[in-house]
């Protein structure tokens, strides 16, 4: 089989090659923000630009370009759209059976204050969903939940995107760290520990950041005790578990500890003024209906069962049992036909390209199973369940197109080497590389949509560049994952998920304009933390022993 080597400077001038490589993403956002086109139109424009540049500038054979685009389309449908459809289906089941009202009451019984509800749902519960499976579920489920509590849909979309940051580095039962260890050859324990030293300050800050994004400083400081308790309990657990335990359950344990501590704290502390969802309620106190423990557990059963099934279905040992080799086949023309080249990898390595239809291992399937089982247990007939499901699919038609084009674009840029060209441009920053290397991880997630994808793309490049500059490869590999989490809120796939889950289809450009400011500010803070480790406290960096 013929192979095609990626070239990382097709125009023989790296600034010019970098500018050309950025055109697909620039086209997408230009059409979206300037022309104010529908997001699927912008995604299609970006994908067409990527296809043309891959063929004409990067000289990628047409069969490989087409194969990469089609692989991205199917990946987008099965891996991303599926979790959105099933998450919204789960929410609709809870609403249909009246259980969502019980869930709302259980949150309101802890606090009717929307500032604290935001922290409980978007931060604590969202982090738990990210830790168990990720894949868009935290934004989709938490966003739907916030709307049910009374948050404005646009507000719910942006806040859930911002909340889904610090936990991402260990999302999906630690998968990003495992991928990072695999591509760099560095020990997983040290990478998890270093990431767990970079991110806890952000985790401690995030509840305050979220509430400040919702209300003014005066209203934010009025609940500072709860914000401190929530952020510090999460950050301390995140640090401890990542440094002294295994990497798979960092987010799960930190989220559970933070949630339990918050529940206990809110039993003994309340803000002086309750800030409700109805402006007329501000300054007053609202009484939530109280339910028995059994009724509350029954109300939460669809989400609890789905979370448990996500955790089980995405656990590596369970994945090995539920995966069937016959359902994972090489992509025609593309599999191992593209060669990644030095300096990104030590020697030319062929890129794998598989079509994977192992639906049983996907978080979306676990969510679907949780919804169906719960619905049947709550007395909903199979016919009504099917109606709700197909109604959800019909609502998602425009979003399915968007996701297909968006991920098709990402796969063309990945297999053609365009995203690597963008990453290599940041390695020219010399001793400022700790800061810009963090931005490299951020860029990787913005392009690929996942922290694991960014680690696979740029992890080894971080290691190679760090060794050339006399920096710690453990620090810079962890910086890739840590910086990447702040790119999660602006990647096009996440924005589409947020828009679809909160009935904001068509408002994706406005969502992006809001969250990009948060993303840039937070990744700059992470970059400064990495700089401090590199030059002020290098002794706090774990030594790279043999994996």
| Residue 258 confidence (pLDDT) above 50 | yes
Q: State the pLDDT at residue 281.
A: 39
15-68 pLDDT, tens digit per residue, is 999 999 989 988 987 887 788 787 788 889 999 999 999 999 999 999 999 999
Taking all residues of the chain, what is their mean pLDDT, rounded to a whole number?
Answer: 87
Q: Are 417 and 55 in contact, with CB atoms under 8 Å apart? A: no
For residue 239, pLDDT beyond 90: yes
Q: How much of the chain, in percent, has pLDDT values that exceed 90? A: 46
Under a CB-based contact definition with an 8 Å cutoff, are residues 50 and 530 in contact?
no
Residue 511: pLDDT band by 50, 70, 90 thresholds? very high
Pairing of strands 4-5, 338-340: parallel
The tokens 């036909």 sit on which residue? 337
Which stretch of DSSP H or E encloses residue 5?
strand 4-5
Half-sphere exposure of 272 (CA within 13 A, CB side): 6
> Quick one: tokens of 345?
């990898």
Q: Tell me the average pLDDT across 284-313.
A: 76
Beta bridge partners of 5: 339
User: pLDDT tens digits for 425-440?
Assistant: 878 888 999 999 999 8
pLDDT at 278: 63
For the ranges 210-219, 396-405, 412-421, the lowest mean pLDDT is seen at 396-405
Tens digits of per-residue pLDDT, 342-382? 888 888 999 999 998 888 888 788 889 988 998 998 888 99
Question: Looking at per-residue confidence, does 320 or 315 come out higher?
Answer: 320
Instruction: Give one DSSP letter per residue of 101-154, joined into a string.
Output: HHHHHHHHHH---HHHHHIIIIIIIHHHHHHHT-TTHHHHHHHHHHHHHT--HH
519 versus 399: the higher-pLDDT residue is 519
Distance set, CA 155 to CA 84, 87, 152, 253 (Å): 18, 19, 5, 28
**Residue that wins the pLDDT comparison between 52 and 460:** 52
pLDDT score at 27: 92
* pLDDT confidence tier of residue 478, bands split at 50, 70 and 90: very high
Between 497 and 514, name the one with better pLDDT: 514
Which 3-state string (H, E, C) describes 142-208?
Answer: HHHHHHHHCCCHHHHHHHHHHHCCHHHHHHHHHHHHHHHHHHHCCCHHHHHHHHHHHCHHHHHHHHH
Residue 535's Cβ-side half-sphere holds a number of Cα atoms within 13 Å equal to 11
pLDDT of 282 higher than 70: no
Work out the burial of residue 258: count CB atoms within 10 Å of its CB; fewer than 13 is exposed, 13-18 middle, 19 or more buried: buried
pLDDT band at 288 (very low <50, low <70, confident <90, very high): low
CA distances from 277 to 148, 215, 536 (A): 11, 12, 45
pLDDT for the residue numbered 101: 81
248 or 216: which leads in pLDDT: 216
Length of the chain: 547
Q: What is the pLDDT of residue 341?
A: 92
Maximum mean pLDDT: which of 140-144, 382-386, 408-412: 382-386
285 confidence band (pLDDT: 50, 70, 90): very low
C-beta of residue 144 within 8 angstroms of C-beta of residue 501: yes
Judge whether 131 and 330 are in contact, CB under 8 Å.
no
**What is the value of pTM for the model shown?**
0.80
What is the distance between the alpha carbons of residues 203 and 251, in angstroms, rounded to a whole number? 11
pLDDT of residue 316: 74
pLDDT band at 135 (very low <50, low <70, confident <90, very high): low
Highest mean pLDDT range out of 99-103, 263-267, 498-502? 263-267
List Cα–Cα distances, 529 to 194, 227, 231, 321, 535, in angstroms: 12, 22, 18, 41, 10
Question: What average pLDDT does this structure show over 191-214?
Answer: 96
Q: Residue 279 pLDDT > 60, yes or no?
A: no
Residue 221 structure tokens: 């400081």
Pick the range with the lowest mean pLDDT from 161-175, 236-250, 251-265, 342-356. 161-175
Q: In the structure, what pLDDT confidence band is assigned to residue 184 with cuts at 50, 70 and 90?
A: confident
Element (H, E) at 356: strand 354-356
Q: Residue 97 in contact with residue 380, Cβ under 8 Å?
A: yes
Q: Which of 235, 253, 137, 229 lies closest to 195, judged by CA?
A: 235
Whether residue 500 has pLDDT greater than 70: yes
Res 280 pLDDT > 50: no
pLDDT of 406:
78
User: Dihedral of CA 133/87/144/100: which sign?
Assistant: negative
- So what's the pLDDT on residue 492? 77
Q: Per-residue pLDDT averaged across 120-141, rounded?
A: 82
Assess whether pLDDT exceeds 50 at residue 523: yes
Determine contact, residues 285/162, Cβ cutoff 8 Å: no
User: What confidence score (pLDDT) does residue 387 get?
Assistant: 94
- Structure confidence at residue 544 as a pLDDT band (50, 70, 90): low
């Amino acid at each position: 089989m013929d192979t095609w080597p990626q070239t990382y400077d097709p125009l023989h001038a790296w600034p010019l090659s970098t500018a050309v490589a950025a055109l697909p993403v620039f086209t997408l956002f230009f059409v979206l923000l300037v022309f104010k086109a529908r997001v699927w139109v912008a995604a299609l424009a970006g994908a067409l630009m990527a296809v043309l540049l891959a063929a004409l500038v990067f000289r990628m054979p047409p069969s490989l370009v087409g194969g990469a685009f089609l692989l991205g389309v199917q990946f987008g449908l099965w891996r991303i759209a599926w979790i959105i459809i099933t998450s919204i289906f789960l929410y609709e089941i809870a609403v249909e059976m009246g259980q969502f009202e019980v869930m709302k009451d259980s949150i309101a019984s802890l606090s009717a204050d929307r500032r604290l509800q935001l922290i409980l749902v978007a931060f604590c519960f969202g982090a738990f969903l990210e830790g168990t499976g990720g894949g868009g579920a935290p934004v989709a489920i938490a966003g739907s939940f916030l709307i049910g509590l009374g948050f404005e849909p646009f507000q719910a979309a942006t806040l859930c995107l911002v909340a889904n940051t610090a936990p991402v580095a260990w999302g999906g039962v630690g998968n990003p760290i495992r991928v990072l260890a695999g591509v760099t050859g560095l020990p997983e324990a040290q990478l998890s520990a270093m990431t767990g030293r970079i991110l806890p300050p952000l985790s401690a800050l995030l509840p305050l950041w979220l509430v400040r994004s919702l209300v003014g400083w005066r209203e934010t400081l009025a609940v500072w005790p709860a914000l401190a308790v929530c952020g510090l309990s999460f950050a301390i657990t995140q640090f401890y578990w990542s440094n002294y335990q295994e990497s798979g359950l960092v987010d799960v344990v930190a989220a559970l500890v933070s949630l339990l501590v918050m529940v206990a704290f809110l039993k003994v502390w309340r803000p002086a003024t309750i800030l409700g969802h109805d402006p007329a309620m501000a300054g007053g106190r609202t009484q939530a209906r109280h339910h028995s423990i059994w009724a509350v557990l029954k109300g939460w059963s669809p989400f609890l069962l789905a979370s448990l099934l996500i955790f089980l279905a995405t656990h590596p040992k369970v994945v090995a049992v539920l995966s069937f080799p016959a359902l994972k086949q090489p992509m025609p023309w593309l599999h191992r036909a593209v060669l990644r080249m030095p300096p990104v990898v030590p020697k030319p390595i062929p890129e794998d390209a598989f079509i994977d239809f192992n639906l049983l291992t996907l978080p979306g399937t676990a969510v679907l199973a949780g919804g169906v089982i719960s619905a049947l247990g709550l007395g909903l007939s199979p016919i009504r369940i099917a109606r709700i499901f197909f109604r959800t699919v019909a609502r998602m038609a425009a979003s399915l197109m968007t996701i297909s084009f968006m991920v098709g674009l990402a796969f063309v840029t990945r297999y053609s080497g365009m995203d690597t060209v963008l990453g290599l441009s940041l390695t020219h920053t010399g001793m400022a590389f700790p800061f810009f290397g963090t931005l490299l991880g951020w860029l990787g997630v913005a392009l690929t949509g996942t922290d694991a994808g960014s680690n696979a793309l740029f992890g080894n490049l971080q290691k190679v560049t760090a060794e050339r500059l006399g920096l710690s490869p453990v620090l810079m590999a962890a910086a890739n994952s840590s910086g990447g989490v702040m790119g999660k809120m602006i990647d096009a796939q996440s924005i589409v998920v947020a828009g679809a889950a909160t009935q904001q289809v068509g408002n994706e450009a406005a969502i992006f304009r809001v969250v990009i400011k948060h993303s840039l500010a937070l990744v700059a803070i992470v970059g400064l933390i990495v700089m401090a480790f590199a030059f002020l406290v290098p002794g706090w960096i774990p030594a790279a022993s043999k994996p």
